[in-house]
Amino acid sequence: MLRCWTNALTTRRAAIGLRHSSSDSSSHFHNVAVLGGGITGLSTAYFLTQALPTAKVTIYEASDRIGGWLDSVRVPVKDGTVIFERGPRTLRPNGNGVLAAKLLQELDLAKDGLYPQLSSPAACNRFLYYPDHIVRMPHPSFKFADNLWSMITEPVFKTVMFGGITEFWKPPRGDHIEDESIAGFFSRRVSKEMVDRIMSGVIHGIYAGDVNQLSAKSLFPTQWRDELEAGSVIAGLAKSRAEGMEVTKREASFIQEMKSYQWDPLLKATLAMSTVWTLKDGLGQLVDRLARHLVKNGNVEFKTSTSVQSIALPQGSDRIQVQAQGSSQIKEYTHAISALSPAQLSAAHKGSTPLIPHIPTVTVMTVNLYYRTPGLHPDGFGYLIPQATPFENNPERALGVVFDTAYSPGSEDIDQSSWNVVDRDELIRQRDQGRLINVNDFAWYNMPEDPIRQDLVGKRGSKLTVMLGGHWWSEWPAFPDQEQGLALAKSVLRRHLGITEEPEAWQVNLQRDCIPQYTVGHEKRLKTAHSNISREYQGKLRVAGNWMSGVGVNDCLRSAWDVVSSLKVNRPGTGLEHVGNEEYVRIRRARPEEAAKE
């Protein structure tokens, strides 16, 4: 969808008078090259146009489509169409998610949003597959007795209660330890069984990575600090409950800045009670709208199908040079912001030593499947497969399965007979007062118009995504092809969920090197990257993306926001200047209901 659209860019660009020629930096203080047209690059350009409205921005994207792995496709099925997501499918509204919410509001997308509620099965029912069956994770909304029974009887929870309670008395690590794997840290603090059976599954669902290699210091910074400063993770947790959460000063001022933003009260109320959100045409709609918005801005130029061959800051010059692959022309910019991967950026920097130390990545295969029969999976978000699940129960090396049906409404959800409030006038009155419209498991922002859906079919079947690979496939000599990928996914679903039906529609996507791995020593590597970039580029090159402070879409938006904020005030930096250098303060966080009222 996006590819077709970007092909039309050239025509549109001509129509609205965007220039292709070399930039005249003298008339603009800021003439910025944004390297990479994924969500990080696009949001960087967007925030730049807001922070520095006269800046000229050029986006370089190697591919003929923009958006990176945020990629939604509408596929035909027998009685309509359904959305398949190749990459991320939902976003959380909390934390860095506030920036995506800002985009929702400013790009007029809120009315196209789907908002599963905190009370919905998608929020409450999360599962693990261990050792040979699906187990529902305990949740505060379930009966205490049910949670307790599951904790006592399910092998997946063996040692969790005892390990958790005794964590308080376990001695803290020696302060000479600079970093440790997640497995090492939590095995010491809680138990090895908990790591192998639970934590490794959760880590699969976020990083598709190996708990034995990923860094506790980088990925669990609060717990890492609490162990030394409060004596245990539990003591740290208790202290933050009593005295407020410890956050970096940078974070505290970001929260303050976001609080003072003029929020649409209805959107705020809706998001405060939502677990995640997505859009009616999938998350690809966000990049599509962002790109369309940028195209309309006369100061933004897109260079698609244009990969960056080299970047350089010649001695004595205050202009950074960018040369595109296959072009003899060198373009000059006041600044460049790289949204490329560390490997791509290091390749473009033609120095004798790598600009950024090697940061490993993993490749994930996502297989989307749509079945005619409804209810083929349990009601809930999906399940994760931990490393301890015996090989014979997961020879395909799947990481988990997402139940896509759960987070977007089907025809039964828009059927008014199942709503808790059916008086339309009352709903409109509530909406006009900026109140949340919550009639079942979903909130409807777009009332009084008809509720919206992703899947436009008469009666919806079952939609799932099987996630395969990640660190498991790092040692494999070759990745499976489409046919093999489909066979692997079907085999997982047959064994785990008993699905034998043939899918009505499917799609196999190999996302190469999509998730950077923050392995032990990651912080040190980022510090090296910071000193190399600042030495070689004197503040003219800055970096953003999923390899520095979180791998999610929300984290990409945040790194884009941070890099633009520092450029706006002309603070020297690289985008990595804060790494290992933070000061902390305690703040009290509002609960969701309070936040909605605030």
> Which of 13, 28, 92, 527 touches ligand LM7OVKF4 by CB under 6 A?
92
The one-letter amino acid code at 508 reads V
Burial class (CB in 10 A: 0-12, 13-18, 19+), 375: exposed
Query: How many chain residues touch ligand LM7OVKF4 (CB under 6 A)?
Result: 22
Angle at 63 between CA 57 and CA 66, to 5 degrees: 60
CB of 89: closest distance to ligand LM7OVKF4 in angstroms?
4
335-338 and 541-543 beta bridge pairing = parallel
Diameter of the chain by CA atoms?
A: 72
Q: Both tokens of residue 514?
A: 């999509």
Core vs surface per residue 17-45: b (16+ CB within 10 A) or e: ebeeeebebeebebbbbbbbbbbbbbbbb
Between 30 and 89, name the residue whose CB sits nearer to ligand LM7OVKF4: 89
Of all residues in the shown chain, the one whose CB is closest to ligand LM7OVKF4 is 400
Tell me the CB-side half-sphere exposure of residue 512, using CA atoms within 13 A: 4
CB of 517: closest distance to ligand LM7OVKF4 in angstroms?
12
> Which of 245, 399, 447, 529 touches ligand LM7OVKF4 by CB under 6 A?
399
> Which of 6, 23, 40, 90 touches ligand LM7OVKF4 by CB under 6 A?
90
Between 362 and 567, name the residue whose CB sits nearer to ligand LM7OVKF4: 362
Contact between 364 and ligand LM7OVKF4 by CB under 6 A: the answer reads yes
- Where would I find the beta strands (DSSP E) of 451-522? 456-457, 462-469, 505-516
Question: Quick one: CA dihedral 156, 161, 163, 167, positive or negative?
Answer: positive
- What is the rounded CA–CA span in Å between residue 284 and residue 295? 16
String of contacts with ligand LM7OVKF4 for each residue 453-472, x by CB under 6 A: --------------x--x--
Contact between 552 and ligand LM7OVKF4 by CB under 6 A: the answer reads yes
User: Which residues have CB under 8 Å from 424's CB, separation 6+?
Assistant: 448
Bridge partners, residue 114, by sequence: 278
Contact between 382 and ligand LM7OVKF4 by CB under 6 A: the answer reads yes
Contact between 400 and ligand LM7OVKF4 by CB under 6 A: the answer reads yes
Between 167 and 196, name the residue whose CB sits nearer to ligand LM7OVKF4: 196
**Segment contacting ligand LM7OVKF4 (CB under 6 A): 37-45, 394-402, 418-426, 568-576?**
394-402
Contact between 293 and ligand LM7OVKF4 by CB under 6 A: the answer reads no
Between 184 and 470, name the residue whose CB sits nearer to ligand LM7OVKF4: 470
- Residue 146: strand, helix, or coil: helix
**Segment contacting ligand LM7OVKF4 (CB under 6 A): 214-222, 298-306, 370-378, 393-401?**
393-401
The residues that touch ligand LM7OVKF4, with contacts defined as CB under 6 A, are 87-92, 204-206, 208, 364, 366, 382, 384, 399-402, 467, 470, 551-552
